[in-house]
Structure 1
Amino acid sequence: MGLNASLPLLFLTLLLVFSTVVTADNVTRAFEKYSNFSTMSDLLIKTKLTPLISKYQTITILAVSNDAISSITNRSAIELKNILMTHVILDYYDELKLNGLKEKSIMLTTLYQTTGLGEEMNGFLNCTKSKGRVYFGSEVKGSPLTSEYVTTLYHNPFNLSIIQISMPIVAPGLSLAVFPPPPPPVPLAPAPSPMNVATAPSPAPTNAATAPAPGPADEANASDSAVPKPKPATESQEVDSPAPVPSADNEKMEAAADKTKPTSSSACKAGLKFDIVLLLAFFASFAWF
């Protein structure tokens, strides 16, 4: 009786252990069966998401075909990793479970939300069933639901499921700005060869004769600058210097000079006597005749 009761518990324990091993080891093996999803498998390995996925016992991967995923393969490594993490749902969904959904929308938690970097609900997905079809999109307000469920590629119930969607989901805030490549550098002009430098005409010398003659204004300016302007006389120059005081030697020399010079009165007397003599001689000459 006790053995029969322990068998279901043992079976459940083995199932959990087996499921954990499958999740850890066979994520890429599940893609190997579908060559049309080789790009998706390679990107999961390149971004090192496979070891991170293996830490969870319940995972659903939204896979995109090689043709559809080409629209995001040119992104940077960080962008690509963030986008792919939103394609990993921390729950189990397969075709049976999706068909059982009612006509409503549900919110799904993705692997990106566990990083703590999620903003404005970009770590969650919106899954909506409308008119029998299932659509996926970002939970960010205003995001379109353009990625449609196609089929289930692989499923290990309540452990690992890989389902195909029509196109990748790029949530706002996960994709960094992609700048255009810089323009090619402008080629530099080749350096002139020595022969070209030798044959190059030398610049014509400047001829002083051909220089324009200075105008009247220039001559006026030149004359003003060449002729020094007289400085205004100071007050000390206008004051007459005092007359020199005659010394004793100077007085003696002047007295001697005065003695050698005939006085003005004696000169006048001598001149008068000479005139009288001439007058008498004149009258005597008339008397003679």
Structure 2
Amino acid sequence: MDSRAISAALLFNFLLFSAASAFNITKLLSQFPDFTNFNDLLTQTKLADQINSRETITVLALDNGAISSLSGKPVDVVKRILSVHVILDYYDVQKLGKLSNDNTTVLTTLFQASGAATNQQGFIKVKSINEGEAAFGSAVKRAPTYSKLVKSVASQPYNISVLQITSPIQVPGIDSKATNSTPPPPSPASSSPVESPKEAPAPSAETPSKADAPAAETPKAVADAPSSSPPTAEADSPKAADSDADAAAPGPSDASGASSGGRFVGGAVVMAVMSSFLAL
């Protein structure tokens, strides 16, 4: 039995199994050894559970050689990259052929549904290149479109379709979004501005001290007052002494009165002497 007959038999069994129950991407890919590594990563990242919970889905699968370019990356980064390879609609080769003839078509992926995508990272574009070949790329501006469609691996119209592509779809910035869904804890540098309002009362706390400073300086000024007042007191004390001396000593008017009185008495004596001579 050739490989085509084996693939047809496996696909028939898959369709029978899917008719009786919901599809299981892990069991489906386990029938194709070329996608073992891709299947393992879907299980490790829990993307298999999300895929199986959908009613309509398209998986852009990578064989063991193409998936090796993701080796060494953190699991959360691999999950985001692979979630871009899950389209939230059913597309087989024929449907994609019609889309690629219409310039560029944008498709929604599972990464967009996660809520972690920004700047069109959750969308991919499909267009025709090289004489009708369907190629995929990120919808982010200036992202390359060179991941080509290889073939259909399995399909169940219109629930699930698995398509092989040549290489992982490159999404700019997706590797650096490890903490996009969970904000990082505040760093000490970022917490200092938050504490600054608490430190704001510090100036107000200093204000009473500044207000108290004049009060503290007031006694000092008062204490200095006696040191400056003694000269005033000393200056005043001579005035008081002078006032007392002035009170005891005759004023100018009193001195003139005394002198005029003396002259009056002297004149009377002279007049008396002259009268005595005339009488003789």
TM class, shorter-length: 0.5 to 0.7
Answering whether residue 138 of structure 2 is matched by residue 122 of structure 1, we say: no
Q: Where do residues 274-285 of structure 1 align in structure 2 (5 Å cutoff)?
A: none
State the secondary structure of the residue aligned to 2:22.
helix
Residues in 2 aligned to 1:105 and 1:20: alpha-carbon distance in whole angstroms: 37
Match of 1:44 in 2: 42
C-alpha displacement at 1:140, in angstroms?
0.1
Q: Given the alignment of the two structures, is residue 69 of structure 1 paired with residue 97 of structure 2, yes or no?
A: no
Q: Call closer, same or farther: CA 1:173–1:87 in 2, change over 3 Å.
A: same
Residue in structure 2 matching 1:94, options 87, 92, 95 = 92
TM-score (norm 2): 0.54
Give the root-mean-square deviation of aligned CA atoms.
2.2
* Residue 28 of structure 1, CA deviation: 1.2
Equivalent residue for 2:168?
168
Q: Output one character per residue of 1:66-106: Cα deviation in whole Å (capped at 9) or x when no partner.
A: 01110112100110110010010001111121223324210
Say if 2:143 and 2:170, in contact at 8 Å, map to a contact too.
no
| Contact 2:120–2:139 (8 Å) recurs in 1 | yes
User: In 2, distance between residues paired with 1:176 and 1:20?
Assistant: 42
Residue matched to 2:140 = 140
What is the number of residues matched between the two proteins?
Answer: 161
Residues 198-233 of structure 1: CA distance to partner in whole angstroms, max 9, x if unpaired? xxxxxxxxxxxxxxxxxxxxxxxxxxxxxxxxxxxx
Q: What is the CA-CA distance between 1:177 and the residue it aligns to?
A: 9.1
What are the superposed Cα offsets for residues 154-209 of structure 1, whole Å, 9 maximum, x if unpaired?
0001100000000011311211399xxxxxxxxxxxxxxxxxxxxxxxxxxxxxxx
8 Å Cα contact 1:119/1:173 also seen in 2: no
**In 2, distance between residues paired with 1:20 and 1:162?**
19
1:19 Cα deviation from its structure 2 partner: 5.8
- Could you list the runs of 5+ residues in structure 1 that have no partner in the other structure? 1-14, 179-289
SS of residue paired to 1:147:
strand
Q: Give the letter for the 2:163 counterpart.
A: I
| 1:47 Cα deviation after fit | 0.5
Maintained 8 Å contact 1:122/1:171: yes
In structure 2, relative to structure 1, the CA distance for the partners of 1:93 and 1:177 (3 Å cut) is: closer
The amino acid across from 1:107 in the alignment is V
Q: Output one character per residue of 1:101-134: Cα deviation in whole Å (capped at 9) or x when no partner.
A: 3242100100010111111000000111232110
What one-letter code is carried by the residue in structure 2 that aligns with 1:170? Q
Amino acid at match of 1:90: L
Whether the 8 Å contact between 1:19 and 1:57 is mirrored in structure 2 is: no
Kept after mapping to 2: 8 A contact 1:104/1:128? yes
Indicate how the Cα distance of structure 1 residues 173 and 19 shifts in structure 2: closer, same or farther if over 3 A, else same.
farther
Q: For residues 160 and 115 of structure 1, what CA distance do their matches in structure 2 show?
A: 20
Counterpart in the other structure of 2:151: 151
Highest CA radius of gyration, 1 or 2? 1
What percentage of residue pairs aligned between the two structures are identical? 38
Structure 1 residue aligned with 2:80: 82
Change (3 A) 1:75 1:89: same
Cα 1:19–1:74 shift into 2, 3 Å: farther
- CA distance, structure 1, for counterparts of residue 78 and residue 20 of structure 2: 26
Q: What letter corresponds to residue 37 of structure 2 in structure 1?
A: T
